[in-house]
Amino acid sequence: MAHAKTATSKTPTDLTITPRDRRFGRGQVQGRWWLGGDPYASNFHNALSITFPRGEAFFVDSVKSFRDGAPPKLAGEIRAFIMQEVMHSREHVSFNRRVADAGYKVDHLEQVVADSLALTKGRPEILNLAVTLALEHYTAMMAHEMLRDPRYFEGADAETLEMWRWHAIEEIEHKGVAFDTWMHATKDWSRAKRWRVKSIMMLIVTKNFWAKRWDATLDLLAQDGITGAKAKLGLARYLFGSPGIVRKLVPAWAAFFMPGFHPWNHDDRALIGKYDSDYVDARMPAAA
Ligand SMILES: [Fe+2]
Ligand SMILES: [Fe+2]
């Protein structure tokens, strides 16, 4: 079996990953159904946000473990990736506080995230990197979809919309970093082994990601008094029907399993450019 000793990255050579140090919504009072008055949309995003502070710290740790010996370009991208993710965590901590201030109990949902991450301790770091690779593909796919179609955030207040949009831009910008780190870390593996491990991890991550976000969203809906078949049907309609983010992600998700997959096979930097001028003042010097 041929080993790919020199994996070449498909990350655009002229891509710069720019951390933008912005703070959003401090001191702002957030309504319970902040997303257009829709309990399903609002609580799905609340459930997502609850995973971010711990989840993104996990991404940072797993990428960090493999930065030694990385080529200089990748090493710079890893530094910028870490700066971006640390600021995302900070802003989602603040957002989650506003969710709690609106009256939701979120501690037990944060504990679910902590418990599932605790299971990753002590196992081979390369498996954690594979989980990060899969979840970073998720964040990039969702970011693409949310920037592509403004209807996802219709009815959100300006500051909250900006926060999610800022996060989405940076997720697209650094979408190749975990993948390139993975290619670097597994450069002595056969292509077949690399494909097998990343594909199995993607399937496991997919099952867990949706099962847990589904449960967390139903939990938050129950706190609004929306329960039983009504809650499940409403959430299913939101996720699979209209706007139907799960349905819309399927082609990009399937691409992950194709030979030659790389996140930058699809160059969607135009979506970043569409909004980036809003953050000019927040741009930090490139970490590379
Ligand atoms: Fe992030
Ligand atoms: Fe990310």
Q: What is the pLDDT of residues 105-159, one digit of tens each?
A: 999 999 999 999 999 999 999 999 999 999 999 999 999 999 999 999 999 999 9
pTM (two decimals): 0.94
Which residues have CB less than 5 Å away from ligand 1 (the ion)?
85, 88
Distance 135 CA to ligand 2 centre (A): 8
Distance 215 CA to ligand 2 centre (A): 23
Query: Helix or strand or coil: residue 3?
Result: strand
Which residues have CB less than 5 Å away from ligand 2 (the ion)?
139, 171
Q: CA quadruple 230, 235, 237, 240: dihedral positive or negative?
A: negative
Distance 171 CA to ligand 1 centre (A): 6
Distance 73 CA to ligand 1 centre (A): 20
Q: What is the pLDDT of residues 45-54, one digit of tens each?
A: 999 999 999 9
Distance 56 CA to ligand 1 centre (A): 6
- Closest ligand by atom to 84 CA: 1
Distance between CA atoms of 193 and 10, rounded to whole angstroms?
A: 20
